[in-house]
A and B are shown apart, each in its own frame.
Chain A
Amino acid sequence: ETGVTQTPRHLVMGMTNKKSLKCEQHLGHNAMYWYKQSAKKPLELMFVYNFKEQTENNSVPSRFSPECPNSSHLFLHLHTLQPEDSALYLCASSQDPTGTQYFGPGTRLLVL
Chain B
Amino acid sequence: DQQVKQNSPSLSVQEGRISILNCDYTNSMFDYFLWYKKYPAEGPTFLISISSIKDKNEDGRFTVFLNKSAKHLSLHIVPSQPGDSAVYFCAASGRNSGGSNYKLTFGKGTLLTVNP
Instruction: Please report A residues at the B interface, Cβ cutoff 8 Å.
Output: 4, 6, 40-43, 45, 48, 50, 55-56, 90, 92, 97-98, 100-106
Q: Are B46 and A102 in contact (CB under 8 A)?
A: yes
Which of the 9-residue segments B53-61, B64-72, B104-112 touches chain A? B104-112
* Contact size range, B: 20 to 34
- Give bound CA distance, A43 to B2, whole Å: 12
Binding site secondary structure of chain B: strand
Known: A102-B46, A105-B41. A42 touches B101 (CB 8 A): no
- Give bound CA distance, A98 to B102, whole Å: 5
Known: A105-B41, A105-B42, A106-B43. A42 touches B4 (CB 8 A): yes
The contact sample of 17 A-B pairs, CB cut-off 8 A, is A4-B43, A6-B43, A42-B4, A42-B107, A42-B109, A50-B101, A55-B99, A56-B101, A97-B102, A98-B93, A100-B34, A101-B104, A103-B36, A104-B43, A105-B41, A105-B43, A106-B43
Q: Are A97 and B41 in contact (CB under 8 A)?
A: no
Q: Are B104 and A45 in contact (CB under 8 A)?
A: yes
Q: Which 6 A-B pairs have the closest CB atoms?
A: A103-B43, A43-B106, A42-B106, A97-B101, A105-B43, A103-B44
